[in-house]
Structure 1
Amino acid sequence: MRKKILYVEDDLDMADIVAEIMQFEEYEVITDSGKSMYKILKDNDIGLILMDEGLSWCWGSNLCRELRLNEETATIPIIMISAVRDIDDIAQHCGANAYIRKPFEIYDVIDAVNEYYPKDEASSLPSGGV
């Protein structure tokens, strides 16, 4: 089963590029402008959220804060993505786990997702009997 990521991004070209690259890394990327975020989180087993800061209708950092205050979503890793100069401070203050500055190399995204996506407990246990 593929690991699922929610990418909150309203630039469809950017979302398509990231989704296409991440599928080679065995991730399924669901993209949304943020307006259907809670429905997507309810209907899917999302392991990580990539969040653009500059959405057309709100700030991603505000959505990040909402997610952190919600008991059901508080522990989902969130990586902020933005060209905003102070994205490092924004990410820290909204509770994000990490940030990626635009423009980025695609390996920046791959490395961050691989680092923060929750590890499968069963696959990390040693094999063999007791």
Structure 2
Amino acid sequence: MKKKVLIIENDQDIRHIVALILEEEGFETLSIPEPNDLSEIIPFAPDVILLDEFINALPGHRLCKKIKQIESLNHIPVIILSTANNIELIAKECQANDHIRKPFEVQDLVVTVVRTVNHQPLAC
């Protein structure tokens, strides 16, 4: 069974590119600009969520905090994507499992997603 990645990113081009990269690596993806309601995440049952810090109505770190507070979602690892200088701090404060700085290298994206899906610890 393919591992599933939910991509929440307001930039359509980035959503498309990330989905293509991860599908080439054997993942099933669903990409959306932002969820209307967190309950719509549940049916897809993602193994990991890639979450842009700068989405339309709600900053990604706030959405991450909400995900981590909902019992049916809090087990899903979240990776924050951002151009923010303080992305490490943002990820830590919202209890994200990891972060990826944009612009990213394809290999870094793949390694981070695979490591997170397989519940491997961060490399030092």
AA in 2 matched with 1:48? V
- Name the larger-Rg structure: 1
Instruction: Tell me what 1:124 maps to.
Output: none
Residues 47, 118 of structure 1: 8 Å contact kept = no
Instruction: Tell me what 1:91 maps to.
Output: 91
Q: Secondary structure of 1:75's match?
A: coil
Q: Secondary structure of 1:65's match?
A: helix
Q: Secondary structure of 1:46's match?
A: coil
Identity %: 33
Instruction: Tell me what 1:66 maps to.
Output: 66
1:114 and 2:114 correspond: yes
TM-score by length of 1: 0.86
Partners of 2:75 and 2:54 in 1: how far apart? 23
Q: Secondary structure of 1:79's match?
A: strand
Matches within 5 A, 1:1-130: 1-36=1-36, 38-118=38-118
AA in 2 matched with 1:29? T
- How many matched pairs? 119
AA in 2 matched with 1:21? I
Q: Secondary structure of 2:47's match?
A: strand
- Of the structure 1 ranges 29-38 and 10-19, higher mean CA displacement relative to structure 2 is found in 29-38
**Structure 2: which 5+ residue stretches go unaligned?**
120-124
- Of the structure 1 ranges 26-35 and 69-78, higher mean CA displacement relative to structure 2 is found in 26-35
AA in 2 matched with 1:9? E
Residues 49, 79 of structure 2: 8 Å contact kept = yes
Compute the displacement of 1:35 (Å): 2.4
Q: Runs of at least 4 residues of structure 1 off by over 4 A?
A: none
Partners of 1:37 and 1:81 in 2: how far apart? 20
Residues 4, 47 of structure 2: 8 Å contact kept = yes
Given the superposition, is the C-alpha separation of residues 63 and 103 from structure 1 closer, same or farther in structure 2, using an over 3 Å criterion? Answer: same
CA-based RMSD: 1.3
TM-score by length of 2: 0.90
Residues 10, 33 of structure 1: 8 Å contact kept = yes
